[in-house]
Amino acid sequence: MLTVLVVALGSALQAVPIDLLRLLIGALLLIFGLQWLRKGIRRVSANGLRGMGRRDATAERVPASGVDWTAFVLSMRGVLLEGLEVAFIVISVGLAAQALASASFGAALAFVVIVGAGLLARRWVERVPRSALQLVVGTLLSSFGTFWSVEGLGVSWPGNDLAILVLVGWYLLTALASIELVRLHARRPTLEKVSL
């Protein structure tokens, strides 16, 4: 999709308002991220950080085999936003330096490196417990969604991109506190029965 956009629009891509894209995609990432975070909190509070084991595909509404469309759409949206930013940078720098071919080659090489790293890490990621993965993905999506949404509104973050780390910490601490609250709430009826 990015290749088609860059080829079709070329230098006209600079005219697309990046703030509008950040706001829309950031809001979507935040919505989906909070949903993943909620699922991760529920799963960890109930089961801890156990391994994946056998999963009941119907209970999770994910096909036993095939494509997880939620994961596909979330990944596409996040990568599309980052990719558009890279395309803007490549086109801007390439046109300013009159070296669009060199800038494009550098972007293509970076793409190959990232795909290679993803393929190498695939087996490791598959062994991560689903509950932990949902917490991490929910935390990251919520953090990036918050960051981009606020930037899309024209507000600058203190520390610029370092604010993302603060947001990750905030969402992670909130998730851990929520896990403890859910566990405490789940144990409460048992404690009340014992006291009676």
Could you give the C-alpha distances from 84 to 24, 58, 60, 72, 133, in angstroms and in order? Answer: 13, 36, 32, 18, 26
Total count of domains within the chain: 1
- Type of residue found at 76: M
pLDDT at position 190 is: 58
pTM, rounded to two decimals = 0.63
Question: Residue 79 has which token pair?
Answer: 């990568």
- Separation between Cα atoms, residue 149 and residue 19, nearest integer Å: 9
pLDDT the model gives residue 173:
95
Give the residue numbers spanning the domain of 77.
2-195
Give the pLDDT score at 96.
61
Question: Which letter does DSSP use for residue 189 in this model?
Answer: H
Residue 113: predicted pLDDT: 92
The CA distance from 53 to 42, in Å, is 17
At residue 23, the pLDDT reads 83
Low-confidence ranges of the chain (pLDDT < 50): 52-60
